[in-house]
Amino acid sequence: MSGALRIGSRGSKLALIQSAWVRAELMRLHPDLRVEIDVIQTKGDKLLDAPLAKLGDKGLFTKELETAMLDGRTDLAVHSAKDMPTEVPEGLVIVAFTAREDVRDVFVGGASCSLSSLDELPRGATVGTSSLRRRSQLLALRPDLDIVDIRGNVQTRLRKLEEQGMAGTILAAAGLARLEQPELAAFAFAFHQMLPAVGQGSLAIEARAGDARVAGLVTPLIHERTALAVRAERSLMHALEGGCQVPIAGFARVTETPDRQGVDRLVLRAFVGSVDGTKAVRGELEGPAQAPEGLGMALADDLLAQGADRILAEVRGAA
């Protein structure tokens, strides 16, 4: 298939690696296709000194990429799925969720870090993270820890760890894998300790609604099981009126074996907590994999019945 395709990408090393992977896959699938990457800075990339929770999260890492598509400057955008707001602007649509990398969060320590579990962190140790989701779950496990805001790429965060004498920070295993630096992880958190962000580990490819050419080119990159899981997670987040800067976590997976009727099953787990980790509600629900949005809404209702609405109201009131 001939013709050029323009990908909008953030300019960070990780974002460019992700966009380059999509570019390479599209060119492999369509040898006659020319694919270009346009680097576009987002608000979240420009304001690195402010805590994410203070910036607001409506399109913090996506708005400028979406504007470029709506203006016709680019044809698609590659996002980390966890950065995608649950509401996509009119005229755009997510055309693919790619296969997930490791969805877990990992602890990354300083140069001399030799920890193998959270229990080995000294009492009162300082840990850097700008994520309220991570802060909440971490303090629920270790209320003695001192949590401070830290932002920037992996190299910047590692430098800040040393400069500020922090014990470590928390990153997504998927990001380290794509950067080919998995060895930086001292240990991974189990799901009962820390659930990941909604969509974590997958890439979301966004394009103009009704652009059949782009949708057709991208279709082979869709990973069906991941798409079902992320749709359930995003439905949960949407029902809770959450965003990437509220302490909500969700992780879904398609079970290994179907039920007796041969229908695939989807299991969704979720967490909502206060910023200081003193309040939390958790839930888990299983349902047919082909109805992921219904599963997400049902689990959201369960969490709200447990008090998630009061917790989130307190978080928003303090923002």
Q: Each residue's pLDDT tens digit in the chain (319 positions)?
A: 446 899 999 998 999 999 999 999 999 999 999 999 999 987 666 555 555 555 455 567 788 999 999 999 999 999 999 989 999 999 999 999 999 999 999 999 876 667 889 999 999 999 999 899 999 999 999 999 999 998 777 788 888 888 888 999 999 999 999 999 999 999 999 999 999 999 999 999 999 999 999 999 999 999 999 999 999 999 999 999 866 568 999 999 999 877 777 778 999 999 999 999 999 999 999 999 999 999 999 999 999 999 999 999 998 877 6
Instruction: Name the token pair of 104.
Output: 């877990």
The C-alpha atoms of residue 60 and residue 313 are separated, in whole angstroms, by 21
Length of the chain measured in residues: 319
pLDDT given at position 55: 45
Whether 83 is catalytic is: yes
**Bridging pattern class, strands 280-288 and 265-273:** antiparallel
**CATH of the structural domain 4-99+202-222, one choice from 3.20.20.70, 2.40.70.10, 3.10.20.30, 3.40.190.10:** 3.40.190.10
Catalytic residue among 45, 75, 83, 211: 83
The fold of 230-318 is Double Stranded RNA Binding Domain (3.30.160)
The C-alpha atoms of residue 234 and residue 86 are separated, in whole angstroms, by 6
pLDDT given at position 161: 86
pLDDT given at position 112: 63
Tracing tokens 């680019």 back to the chain, one arrives at 74
pLDDT given at position 130: 87
pLDDT given at position 141: 96
318 three-class SS: helix
The fold of 105-188 is D-Maltodextrin-Binding Protein; domain 2 (3.40.190)
Q: What's the sign of the alpha-carbon dihedral 91, 46, 41, 107?
A: negative
pLDDT given at position 46: 52
Residues of the chain with CATH 3.40.190.10: 4-99+202-222, 105-188
Task: Spell out the long-range contacts of 262-265 with Cβ–Cβ below 8 A and sequence spacing 24 or more.
Answer: 263/288, 263/289, 263/290, 264/228, 264/288, 264/289, 264/290, 265/289
Phi, psi of 261 (to 5 degrees): -90, 5
